Structure 1
Amino acid sequence: MLQAAESAAAPARDRGSKEQVSPSAGTRQPEEADAALVQKARSGDLESFGELVRRHERTVQGIVTRMIPSPDDAEDVVQEVFVSAWQGLQRFRGDARFSTWLHTIAVNATLKRIRQMRRHGQVSLDDPESGTAERLAADTAGQPFEQAVSAEEKAAVRRALQNLSDNHRMTVVLYYFEEHPCEEIARMMGCSVGTVWSRLHYACKKLKQELRDIRGGDGAAGARVERPDA
């Protein structure tokens, strides 16, 4: 059964297909469709679990690949996330959305792999050659990171991101790039909403400092720091 679950959790590109959503699932609200699929998957229905993988694979990949530079390591973590989800379905109580529960697994698995990589002396995630900050800086899905327009300013974004701790960087990924509300991020990371806000404020402050140095003191004008909605 576990081997079959691993097959269902294999990345879509390895299965030779693109992300799909079944017609029946598409007629419902995402949370309702997830709940129905989870119920079937908990009864051992691998097809339903495979549908859950297809529905959420892209966002899980986004969380993992923006934090882990190695494509092979990132792919391993993505599969590990879905295998862990399969093994833990019986413990999913439904008091949070399935996506929140799944992304919590992704956050924990990603941070665990980062610690292992550092402990084993693999390439530092803060090393500019790793490409992690490059990908984060290139993905301008949200404010204030899209304020950097020149090559020099994008380099400043990379420096700001490189200087963040893993928890701060993950918070930035979840809020600005995956667009999770602060309340969900707090649940995923096991901290208070106030801590999430504090991390976002600190990250924006670091970015403003880098841009201010480049823009001759007025860099803060383009990168406002607003308290995010919880």
Structure 2
Amino acid sequence: MSGGRAGAAVDEAAADEVRIDGVSVEAVSMLDARGFDAWVRPHWRSMALLATRLAGPSADDVLAEALLAAWHKRSQFDADRGAPRSWLLAIVADRAYKAHRSTLSRPRTTELSAIAGSDRDVRQDRSDMASKVDLNRAVAMLTDRQQLAITLFYAIGLPIAEVAAVMGCADGTVKSTLRDARAKLRSLLIVEETS
């Protein structure tokens, strides 16, 4: 009988020694980790697409930081204020901006077709490739906010309300940001066409 008690004492001592953010490992059950994984998994593709568009080659680092931040902030999620996808995408966008603020204004080489669905079998001729390059160059010339709105709405396919939740603004602001981005893209692509 004393063996069982001694084992419990060792377990308690071990739990007291191993702490994550001041919380003992014992307090964080495997169910929480599995639950978090199941909660994030349906949104992983959207998170990866957004990170790829915003951070390019650093997307893996941004995703890792975003997941860690989401894990630490998971108690702050409020379902009454928004959907999990919007909350997770806002964290990805925030981490991408924080990690790459100095490089966000530079053109990115990530293709929009890769964001929209790299798993599609697309056969394109040279003129399609030139158009894709022109579009990517034009999107890179948009403001960071316009790029985020374009990526969330067109590449990931979020409805306006979710784009607004991710961007932390009103639906009307998203609509005007998208309108301004489309106008700028139109003018950039027309100028490039005539050159």
Establish whether TM, by shorter chain, passes 0.5.
yes
In the alignment, which of 72, 76, 84 is matched to residue 87 of structure 1? 72
Structure 1 spans left out of the alignment, 5+ residues:
4-40, 119-123, 142-148, 217-230
Q: CA deviation at 1:139?
A: 4.5
Identity of aligned residues (%): 30
In 2, are the aligned partners of 1:137 and 1:158 still within 8 Å (CA)? Answer: no
- Once the two structures are overlaid, the 10-residue window that deviates more, 166-175 or 189-198, is 189-198
**CA shift in 2, pair 1:93/1:163, >3 Å:** same
In the alignment, which of 35, 45, 51 is matched to residue 64 of structure 1? 51
Q: Any idea what SS the aligned residue of 1:94 has? A: coil
Counterpart of 1:201, as a letter, is R
Where does residue 166 of structure 1 map in the other structure?
A: 144
Q: CA deviation at 1:179?
A: 0.9
Relative contact order (alpha carbons < 8 A, sep ≥ 6): 1 or 2 greater? 2
Q: How many positions carry a matched residue from both structures? A: 160
Q: Any idea what SS the aligned residue of 2:46 has? A: helix
**CA shift in 2, pair 1:137/1:46, >3 Å:** closer
Q: CA deviation at 1:87?
A: 1.1
Structure with bigger gyration radius: 2
Matched, 1:136 2:100: no
Q: CA deviation at 1:93?
A: 2.0
Q: CA deviation at 1:152?
A: 3.5
Q: CA deviation at 1:158?
A: 2.1
In 2, are the aligned partners of 1:153 and 1:211 still within 8 Å (CA)? Answer: no
**CA shift in 2, pair 1:48/1:160, >3 Å:** same
Q: CA deviation at 1:114?
A: 2.2
Where does residue 156 of structure 2 map in the other structure?
A: 178
Counterpart of 1:84, as a letter, is A
Distance 1:168 1:64 in 2: 15
Counterpart of 1:97, as a letter, is A
Q: Any idea what SS the aligned residue of 2:54 has? A: coil
Distance 1:92 1:55 in 2: 16
In the alignment, which of 130, 138, 155 is matched to residue 133 of structure 2? 155
Q: Deviations over 1:81-126 (max 9, x none)?
A: 11111111211121122222212211211222221xx1xxxxx445
Q: Any idea what SS the aligned residue of 1:186 has? A: helix
Q: Deviations over 1:179-214 (max 9, x none)?
A: 111121112111222221111112211222233345
Structural mapping, 1:77-116, within 5 Å: 77-95=62-80, 96-115=82-101
Structure 1 runs of 4+ aligned residues shifted over 6 Å read: none
Q: Deviations over 1:126-147 (max 9, x none)?
A: 545x413xx1255457xxxxxx
In 1, are the aligned partners of 2:52 and 2:115 still within 8 Å (CA)? Answer: no
Q: Any idea what SS the aligned residue of 1:131 has? A: coil
Q: Deviations over 1:22-54 (max 9, x none)?
A: xxxxxxxxxxxxxxxxxxx99962112222233
Where does residue 45 of structure 1 map in the other structure?
A: 32
RMSD: 2.7
Structure 2 spans left out of the alignment, 5+ residues:
1-18, 22-27, 118-126
Where does residue 145 of structure 1 map in the other structure?
A: none
Counterpart of 1:56, as a letter, is H
Counterpart of 1:65, as a letter, is T
Select the structure that is richer in helix.
Answer: 2
In 2, are the aligned partners of 1:67 and 1:110 still within 8 Å (CA)? Answer: yes
TM-score (norm 1): 0.60
Q: CA deviation at 1:174?
A: 0.3
Distance 2:62 2:157 in 1: 21
TM-score (norm 2): 0.70
